Amino acid sequence: MLSASGSFTGIGEEIAAADRTLEYIAMRLRQKYGRRENTWQIQERLTKRVQQPGERIDAFADSLTNIGFGKRVAAESFVETFLNGLNNQITAAQVRIIAPRTLEEAVRAVIDTCGEYGEGRKVTDWKVAKQLYRTTQHWAK
């Protein structure tokens, strides 16, 4: 409570008179302390997040962890979302056979199986991974 009260000390000088509303204070609190999302909204955000072309596997997993941070998300949901969001679905299928229980186990399995970018052990540069992703997308069409 001290932190919140400290944030609004001197609020009169800082905020225009027209902005001194409950909505404005709620917006500022959301900016400072984060969103209020229910489990369904968090799950939806996790599902929409997919690995970007040239994105490292660990960076993709970290972004999923950040989305679900502080929320009640089951470990299995993180694993399933991670595997579904991988660019390389062949890698995802191989890792599903291993049946990882946590996101960390899934990340380790993908890196051990197909390298840092999930595109093969010889791909060690994000530019190459991005190019491979674009090539496979072109052939998939």
Residue 109 CB partners (closer than 8 Å, separation 6+)? 95, 98, 100
What are the tens digits of pLDDT across the range 92-129? Answer: 999 999 999 999 999 999 999 888 877 765 555 666 66
pLDDT value of residue 77: 93
Residue type, 56: R
Provide the 8-state DSSP code for 52.
Answer: P
Alpha-carbon gap, residue 5 to 104, rounded angstroms? 38
pLDDT value of residue 9: 57
pLDDT value of residue 95: 95
Over 15-48, what HEC string results?
CCHHHCCHHHHHHHHHHHHCCCCCHHHHHHHHHH
What are the tens digits of pLDDT across the range 41-99? Answer: 999 999 999 999 889 999 999 999 999 887 888 999 999 999 999 988 999 999 999 99
34 pLDDT higher than 80: no
Q: How far from chain centre, in Å, is Cα 76?
A: 15
8 pLDDT higher than 60: no
- Provide the whole-model pTM: 0.63
Domain locations along the chain = 2-33, 39-140
